[in-house]
Amino acid sequence: MDSSLKWRPLWKVWIPISLFLIPLILEGEMAGTTFTPYVYGLIVFIYGVVYYFRIRMWEVLVLMSFMAITIWWYFLAERAQMTYDSFLLIGIDPGPEVKHWIEAYITTASWFAALFINFVIFYTLGPKLMKALELEKNAIRLFKLSARQMYEEKNGYTARPFNAGKHPFKKEDLFGFSSFVEDKKICLALFPGNGVKFVFSMGTSPLIKSRQEELSHVFFNSNGELSVFISARDYRQYRKKYTFDQLCDIMGKTFLRFAKYYNTNNERKIITELRSA
């Protein structure tokens, strides 16, 4: 059974660096112009906007915006004349006043100040954003892993929790497992009072506390009940309309299996299964 999800862009560190340096070098050597940093900065900003609407974290918008500004600032400071000449080639004349203003205020010294601010923003907001991206990546793996075992296709989504049967764990038994999945950024563990809830999402980040109730989750109730909720947004990410109840049942069994792995000192199997997806 094909378990592939709809295509979605994922953050890879080497991709933005390559997409910036290679065109920049080629453009400078072949054309002598400097459009690359401005186009790239615009792409970074747009990517930030897209990711904001995807994971609903303002941190990504702030971080990407300041990154774009810092890129533009450097090339305006270091290559003001080349920038001016490049825009003249495509019929855009900023005028001498704008050129003089840039030369007066957009300096290398001011760029270092902007770079410092960018570093402060990155080290302040970056860790939370990186955690959100890792949680998203592992949520995708969870859904792919569950879909591998699907054999029914029927569009039957319902916005209700699915009763996935029973589990043998007491709440105290799940504390270690909860710490493990959070440490590995597999999902977020919450303790609502009557059990343990494992929250994951391919869209809105589980780190947004105000949105956690509407996200996909597996709930280990203290009374031994196991329930699963899949959000409509996550369900729509599948290329095929898998039977909703079966998807929930398999997701519940996946977490039940992972918890058993952990409690029998086989937590490596959890990572191995996820990476295989």
**pLDDT per residue as tens digits for the range 142-179:** 998 888 776 666 666 677 888 999 999 988 889 999 99
pLDDT in tens, 244-260: 888 899 999 999 999 99
**Per-position b or e across 241-277, b if 16+ CB within 10 A of its CB:** ebbbbbbbbbbbbbbbebbebbeeeebeebeebbeee
Q: Token match 């929250």: residue?
A: 199
Query: Rounded to whole angstroms, how far apart are CA atoms 128 and 120?
Result: 14
Is residue 145 within 8 A of residue 254, CB to CB? The reply is yes
Res 16: pLDDT: 60
Q: Which of 75-79, 95-99, 266-270 has the highest mean pLDDT?
A: 266-270
The CA-to-CA distance between both ends of the chain, in Å, stands at 13
Average pLDDT, the chain: 85
What per-residue confidence (pLDDT) applies to 174? 92
- In this prediction, residue 262 carries a pLDDT of 94
